[in-house]
Amino acid sequence: MFEPLDPILHSQLRLAVVSLLMSVEEAEFTYIKEKTKATAGNLSVQVNKLKDAGYITVEKSFKDNYPLTTCKITQAGVEAFEKYLNALRSYIKPE
Amino acid sequence: MNQQELSNQDSIKIIMEMVQSTKYNIARDKVIYLMWGYLVAISSLAHYVLKFQFEISQAYYVWLSMPVAGIITGIYYGRKKKHSTAKTFTDRAMSSIWIAFIVALIIFLLASPQIGWSAVYPIFMVLYGIGTATSGGIMKFKPLVIGGYLSMGVGLLAFYQPFDIQLFLLALAVIVSYVIPGHLLPKAQND
């Protein structure tokens, strides 16, 4: 039986962002942008979608007078990612 | 990256690439391991030569090299931290180890009149070993782990030796735990 893939995670950029945030404690917007090679505009849209889904938190502050956006995965995000991985596994190795 | 249809293989590739890209790059610490290793080795040998060959009683001034190296290290990691745009568990584990290491080192330095210098140097060798063996374990870099435990073994031996031999053993301890693993670390890539 195939489990459905979470549509929020099943998108290149959103999956990349969540995978990144799974392996760091928190990351600045610029870090995510550099690692995913996404454009700021597109990344901003996808980050907001993840935030609205409750998968990540986005904190806005300042560093040396420049605006700083810090992203962090939430417990719900971790669970969704694990569920997504399990679903992927069920596609690769059908029982 | 765009919003095209994702295959399962694509998904796995994205996940693996992203996880891989966040890995701690120990090669960036190469210069620090080498600096400390050579500086401690040279300082202890210089201490030996000045004290036991030239009989200069203030030979211990060579250890003023340590606070200088400490300041350089502080600036190096301070700048690195300022430019870092993500926090990882490994970064935190590594800095926790080395901060605790420095605090322990300072405590033994302060306590040196009480415990005597003949115990302080061997204790330092054990401490150096703890720092490199744990860092090497976290990074899965065997030369640091092996060097660390060798340094502890040399420390044990040093407890039973007179001060002049201890100075040689200190040089040996840092050569096995810092200098050799430092040279074995891959060259840092620009990232």
**Is B102 within a domain?**
yes
Q: Tokens in use for B160?
A: 């039973």
Question: Which of A6, A12, A17 to substitute to test the interface with B, most B CBs within 10 Å?
Answer: A12
Q: Do A20 and B85 touch (CB under 8 A)?
A: no
- pLDDT given for residue B1 in this prediction: 44
Residue B19: inside a domain = no
User: Would residue B123 count as lying in a domain?
Assistant: yes
Q: Which residues contact A15 (CB under 8 A, 6 or more apart)?
A: A9, A84, B6, B11, B14, B15
Domain housing B98: 26-184
Domains by residue range for chain A, with CATH: 12-89 (1.10.10.10)
- Locate the chain B residue with the closest alpha carbon to A71: B86
Is residue B139 situated within a structural domain?
Answer: yes
Long-range contacts of B159-163 (CB under 8 A, 24+ apart): B159/B119, B159/B122, B162/B118, B163/B117, B163/B118, B163/B121
Q: Is residue B93 part of a domain?
A: yes
What is the structure's pLDDT at A88? 87
CB-CB under 8 Å, B14 with A35: no
Predicted ipTM beyond 0.95: no
Count of domains in chain B?
1
Decide if B158 is inside a domain: yes
State whether A16 and B1 contact (CB < 8 Å): yes
Whether B150 maps to a domain, the answer reads yes
Q: Rounded distance, CA B158 to CA B167, Å?
A: 9
Position B4 scores a pLDDT of 53
**A with B: how many residue pairs have Cβ under 8 Å apart?**
73
Is the pLDDT assigned to residue A91 strictly greater than 90?
A: no
| DSSP letter (8 states) at residue B25 | -
Q: Among positive and negative, which fits the CA dihedral B97, B133, B35, B153? A: positive
pLDDT at position B14 is 92
Q: What's the pLDDT tens digit per position in A21-73?
A: 999 999 999 999 999 999 999 999 999 999 999 999 999 998 888 889 999 99
**Confidence at residue A64, expressed as pLDDT on a 0 to 100 scale:** 82
Residue A3's SS3 state is coil
Mean pLDDT of successive 10-residue stretches along chain B, which has 191 residues: 68 90 84 93 92 84 88 89 84 92 94 91 95 94 96 96 93 95 81 45
Would you say residue B15 lies in a domain? no
Reported as a single tens digit per residue, the pLDDT across A72-87 is 999 999 999 999 998 8
Q: Is B3 helix (H, G, I), strand (E, B) or coil?
A: coil
pLDDT, residue A95, reads 54
- H/E/C letters for each residue in A18-51? HHHHHHCCEEEHHHHHHHHCCCHHHHHHHHHHHH
Specify the pLDDT at position B155: 96
